[in-house]
Amino acid sequence: MERFILYSIGILACIFALLFIVPTNPLFGLVGGLATGLAIPLMDAILANRRYLKLSWYSFRYRNSNVRISVSYLFRIKLEGKYLLVKGRRRPGYQPVGGVYKITPGGKAFLGKIGALDDDLLPIDDISGDDLRIRVPAKNLVSFVRWFESGESRETSPWREFYEELIAPKILATAIFPYIYHEYIRREYRPLRFSTYAQSRELLIADIYELIPTPSQFDALSALQRSGHPDVLWAPEEQIRRRGAMPGRNHEIEIAEPAIWIM
């Protein structure tokens, strides 16, 4: 962001100077060349900071209101063309394995400094306590995102939710899944939008991971797929994109929107 500002100032200064230089003056070509030279790194700075530029616009436009933010991590677990989803613990329907990041005391201190408030859509209990599901003054959106992307004072491993949703309820065996390998795929930023559920503007962020099973873990997942376990759903891409509906069938299965993000 600092580079963007410096390059912009430099180009504006060159343009202003050109207004007072005769085109036949050798200095005109020198200043024009400098402006052109600054334009290239400016474009690079714009591309590198386009997310922050958009957030800065949101911060200005909605500066007098709060934005609900939910930051989570989700697992892509795919086997034979189908994705593993689990039954929601708080909401009806199925969703990817994963959940909202937790924060440390240091994270709480930072959020306090930027005026963040607890989310009021879910009761604060042992499960939801310290969740990175909050309401932040819109003017502090960029500060929040920069802090989150630094990885400081927050959970950084996706293991906890994997354990809580698949190992603890004995859907998968601890002996076969004492640890997991996973590959980071991408960070999903959903456009800021008005949420009828939250009755406020909402920013959703999710890190997508792909499970890399060992041979024995792959066999366990295959067995789970064949078992018809009532708390899991193996859904093809078409069904996920249709949020559970399938052509020619009654719509009896609800799939949460975040499942689309793991595609």
Q: Are residues 103 and 41 in the same domain?
A: no
- Domain range for 24 is 2-48
Q: Where are the alpha helices (DSSP H) in the chain?
A: 2-18, 26-48, 50-61, 105-113, 141-150, 159-162, 215-227, 237-241, 258-261
Structure confidence at residue 12 (pLDDT): 75
Residue 87 lies in a domain: yes
Residue 249 covered by a domain:
yes
Shared-domain flag, residues 76 and 202: yes
My answer on whether 68 and 150 are in the same domain is: yes
Q: How high is the pLDDT of residue 21?
A: 81
Note the helical H segments in 114-188: 141-150, 159-162
pLDDT tens over the chain, length 263 residues: 556 566 667 667 777 777 778 777 777 777 667 766 666 665 655 555 667 778 888 888 998 999 999 999 999 999 999 999 999 877 778 999 999 999 999 999 999 999 999 887 665 555 556 899 999 999 999 999 999 999 999 999 999 999 999 999 999 999 999 999 999 999 999 989 988 877 889 999 999 999 999 999 999 999 999 998 999 999 999 999 998 887 877 778 899 999 999 98
User: 59 in a domain, yes or no?
Assistant: no
Q: Are residues 139 and 236 in the same domain?
A: yes
Residue 95 and residue 22 share a domain: no
In a domain, 81, yes or no: yes
Note the pLDDT of residue 46: 56
Asked if 95 and 180 sit in the same domain, the reply is yes
Q: What is the pLDDT of residue 47?
A: 52
Contacts of 199 (CB under 8 A, 6+ apart): none
Could you tell me if residue 171 is inside a domain?
A: yes
Cβ-based burial of 43 (10 A; exposed 0-12, middle 13-18, buried ≥19): exposed
Regarding whether 234 and 172 lie in a shared domain, the answer is yes
Query: Would you say residue 56 lies in a domain?
Result: no
**What pLDDT does 38 receive?**
61
Same domain, 232 and 135: yes
* pLDDT value at residue 35: 63
**Strand-strand pairing, 200-212 and 232-236:** unpaired
In a domain, 231, yes or no: yes
Q: Which amino acid is at 139?
A: K
- Is 14 in the same domain as 121? no
Q: Are 122 and 229 contained in the same domain?
A: yes
Give me the helix-helix angle, 2-18 and 26-48, nearest 10°. Answer: 160
Instruction: Using CB atoms within 10 Å of the CB of residue 68, give its burial: 0 to 12 exposed, 13 to 18 middle, 19+ buried.
Output: buried
| The total number of structural domains that make up the chain | 2
Alpha carbons within 13 angstroms on the beta-carbon side of residue 261 total 24
